[in-house]
Amino acid sequence: MVINRVLLNRGGVLNLDLNKYLKTISKYQLLTKEEEKKLFERVTKGDKEAREQAITANLRLVVNVAKKYLHTKVPFQDLVQEGNSGLIIAVDRFDPSKGKRFSTYATFWIKQAVLRHLNDTKNIIRYPSYVVDNINKISKFVIEYKNKHSKVPTKKEISQKIEVDIKEVKRVMDLMEMSYISLDDQYESGQGFDSTKLNAEDELCRDFESSSLISMIKKLRGKEQEVMVHRFGLFGNNRLTLEKIADKLNLTRERVRQIQNFVLAKLRDRMNNL
């Protein structure tokens, strides 16, 4: 289980093909809360073997976060590579004495690494550094708030906490939603997920330009088609947030989300039967 064999280090290259890499990391055992605590006690004492184990045990977390950004067209290997660099930073900085799960802490650093890479990539929209910083601040606060209060904070609470004007908070959160930057990418070690496959919804988002899928979209009726067209910016339309689509179609935001999820499930089934 030597990390050099399966994983890039900072500035390294993912030298295995993607399927082989995903298959390899799926073999690493997830940690229970107690195992995690004991392991990081060793990490903080400079135990190199424990550090390596902490990294490999959380490689699937990186894949799960990276999948959220497949729509950017940035190669998945690049997303994973940047996410892994964030994971390494998280392992080196994590303080187990604070009583929090490592996955929650690491998600912030993984996202930050991926988002900064996306911001520096020329083939996507470049956001100013202050916007990227605000995205990171909002994500971090929302995760911490949800862990403590079991609910999402209001925009006013976010504004007060990170000391940013509420209009700017709303604007940044709209950007996050339009980029599918989830505010609750919680990952609980021990529950696990199948990281050897790309999520069906992510595959659909990435392949919306394929002729077969475009044909399916054209066959949708009424609000189903309108929601998908505006949600994913198809046929020359701008990509809109759930809130803006709701206003446009005179629906609730939740209803728009339900329609989107229903259609994605339907499209997934049709794609699987092709």
Predicted confidence at residue 132, as pLDDT, reads: 76
68 contact partners, CB below 8 Å, separation of at least 6: 180, 181, 182, 185, 202
Domains and CATH numbers, the chain: 3-178 (1.20.120), 200-272 (1.10.10.10)
Q: Return the pLDDT at 127.
A: 62
Instruction: Write down the pLDDT at residue 53.
Output: 93
Per-residue pLDDT at 169: 86
**Residue 171: Cβ-neighbour burial (10 angstroms; 0-12, 13-18, 19+):** middle
CA 47/CA 266 separation, integer angstroms: 49
The pTM score is 0.47
CB 93 within 8 A of CB 40: no
pLDDT band at 24 (very low <50, low <70, confident <90, very high): confident
Q: What is the pLDDT of residue 204?
A: 45
CA dist., res. 15 & res. 204, Å (int): 27
Angle between helices 129-149 and 102-119 (to 10 degrees): 160
List, in sequence order, the alpha helices (H) in 95-251: 102-119, 129-149, 155-162, 166-178, 200-206, 211-219, 222-231, 242-249
Of all residues in the chain, what percent carry a pLDDT higher than 90?
A: 17
In which band, very low, low, confident or very high, does the pLDDT at 184 lie, cut at 50, 70 and 90?
very low
Strand, helix or coil at 99?
A: coil
Q: Does residue 197 have a pLDDT over 60?
A: no
Which residue has better confidence, 99 or 237?
99
Q: For residues 52 and 216, which has the higher predicted lDDT (pLDDT)?
A: 52
Cα–Cα distance between 23 and 195 in angstroms, integer?
Answer: 8
Instruction: Compute the average pLDDT of residues 249-253.
Output: 90
**pLDDT digits 0-9 by tens, 80-106:** 988 999 999 999 999 888 878 898 889
pLDDT, position 177:
57
Q: What is the average pLDDT score of the chain?
A: 75
- Give the range among 172-186, 234-248, 260-274 with minimum mean pLDDT: 172-186
Which DSSP string do the residues of 33-48 spell out, in sequence order?
HHHHHHHHHHHTTT-H
